[in-house]
Amino acid sequence: MSDYSLQAINLSKNFGRRLIFKDINFRIDCCGIMGISGANGAGKSTLVKILAGISSPSSGKIIHKIEDKEIISENLHNHIGFVSPYLVLYEEFSTWENLNYFAEIRAVKFNKEKIEYLLNQLLLFDRKNDLVKTYSSGMKQRLKFIFALMHSPELIILDEPTSNLDQEGKDSVYKIIKEESKSAIVIIASNEQSDLSFCSTEIKLEDFKNK
């Protein structure tokens, strides 16, 4: 079980004069699933990028801790798995080559046993040596989960995790989400009720527009 914690303190974001959200506060310890909901354009992707350290808030603070010690921003990537529709894959490489390269650039162990397990769970094992450019959009989306989970992160952030997936693909992703939430913090940003149904708590961005 993870001893990771994530805290948002008075988190606000503006783009010029446009308010995206204001004064979001929460703390998550240990493990479980939190949802972030809102209509398209409400700021879900903006918020998860801030939580992942990819973007900065206009005001407020995000604190990541492990074993009660704060993690500096330069080391966050070692602890976070991130899935989103806008992540880019190396389409001229095979899945296996992509995963090897990913392990090298992140300086993490290439855990063959775990990767093969994830490939099986996400219905990609038989296509692991095919070039990614031959994959359907749903297969590429499932591949992003393997990138996110191969280093066993303590915090898993999923932005629109079931986009482009058919029901079989959704079922495989939901199984992984439930399994990973037993030992990690999982955050799901979505406006799909089937995605949010797994969440024990939910941040509704509409509640943070006019505070």
Residue by residue, pLDDT tens for the chain (211 residues) are 569 999 999 999 999 999 999 999 999 998 999 999 999 889 999 999 999 999 999 999 999 999 999 999 889 989 999 999 888 889 999 999 999 998 888 888 889 999 999 999 999 999 999 999 999 999 999 999 999 999 999 999 999 999 999 999 999 999 999 999 999 999 999 999 999 999 999 999 999 987 5
The closest alpha carbon to 191, from 46, 87, 42, belongs to 42
Which residue range(s) make up the domain with 63? 4-208
CA atoms within 13 A on the CB side of 76: 19
Strands (DSSP E) contained in 16-154 are 18-29, 32-37, 59-66, 69-70, 80-83
Number of domains forming the structure of the chain:
1
Q: What is the CATH number of the domain that holds 155?
A: 3.40.50.300
152: Cβ contacts below 8 Å, ≥ 6 apart: 111, 114
Q: Is the pTM of this model over 0.85?
A: yes
Q: Which residue has the tokens 């300086």?
A: 107
Q: What is the β-pairing status of strands 32-37 and 59-66?
A: unpaired
Query: Is the C-alpha dihedral spanning 3, 64, 82, 88 positive or negative?
Result: negative
21: Cβ contacts below 8 Å, ≥ 6 apart: 11, 12, 13, 43, 46, 47, 205, 208, 209
According to the model, what pLDDT value does residue 1 have?
Answer: 58
